[in-house]
Structure 1
Amino acid sequence: METPEPAPPRRRDATRTRQLLLDVAKRRFARDGYSATTVRDIADEAGVNVALISRYFTSKEGLFEACLSSAVSELRRDSGEIDIDDVAADIARRITSSRDEQSMTESMLLLLRTSGDERAEQMRRGVIQAISERLAVACGTPSPDRLLRAQLVLAASLGVVVLRSSLRVEPLTSASEDELAAPFTDLINALLR
């Protein structure tokens, strides 16, 4: 009787594994916070060896930084250089789009949740600052007043995400893109024009 040949070694897909770790980590950091999330938790949920976190991200801090970068990319995706006239509609679309809603919610919650780690907090503040500055630039010549107003728009957007996703406040939770676009336009026109 012939001995069957052993199965060929399983090929690893590094890109897929890295993305899986990012997705799991983003969800865990957004839900549980930086301090309460361990690399073992992330690796276990992803079904991979914990050593892969070091291989792909160097450390927990590196993974958190990659999650923040991913969140920024999520928030920028498809926006290109947004014209001030399109900002309100873009925010409303991102908050209500079923395709984007879960990922957008995780990205926004990741930016909101305190970590208890000073380096992680610096990274988080830096990301929020960069998003605010980008919004201020989209509205014209940057100035301290315009940056403050852009941060108020960002704060309102974050608040809408929290009220829709965590607290599920009605009618905000079930408001459609069209229903949110007009109030966001009013808010943005009041703050940024």
Structure 2
Amino acid sequence: MADPALMRIGLNIVRLQSTRGLLMVNEKRVFTPPGTDELLTGWLIHSHKARDRHDEAARRYAKGQYALGIPSLIVSTVVGTSVFAALSSKEVPPLWVGLLSILAAVLAALQTFMDFGGRSDKHRNAAVKYKSSIRLLEESIVRQKQGTVLTKDEVATIRTTLDSLEETAPVVMPKIHDNIEKRYQHMKYVSEAIGLYSK
């Protein structure tokens, strides 16, 4: 009779093989560049992805700022006007005014706590810095293709710049990160600028 533990291991292997397509989606890939050209190209792709992630995050947080800010402004205005009208007529404000004032306070607290505007600005700044690194990498790649060999110090400077960006950039939500990764799986790379606009 076969050992139950070995049977479970065999069954798990069969399950892994049957879900291989699912595992391929989640597999991690590691890029080992054989030379400076490939290294710079890898950094360029990474910078493009990072810029897109932060740009997308900035846009989403800006939408969130308006989604919370506009209702908060409207509710606060209605409450303020109603209270002012009630005070001028010396009547007790209706119950709905009190409920709306609680809603206005909650919306204002959420808006302050979530800080969508500040988060949007941080991601926008990170996107701008990554765009700057993209230009630096593109220039370096062009120099390499024209025969200028980059020194180790120049490559180290680029690496330090990218490392600094990674350290200071805000964290991107996993959903945004995954969406950008999916977008880049089907990316077509072109060697001429006109290729960006023609099929």
Bigger Rg, structure 1 or 2: 2
TM-score, normalised with respect to structure 1? 0.25
Higher share of residues assigned helix:
2
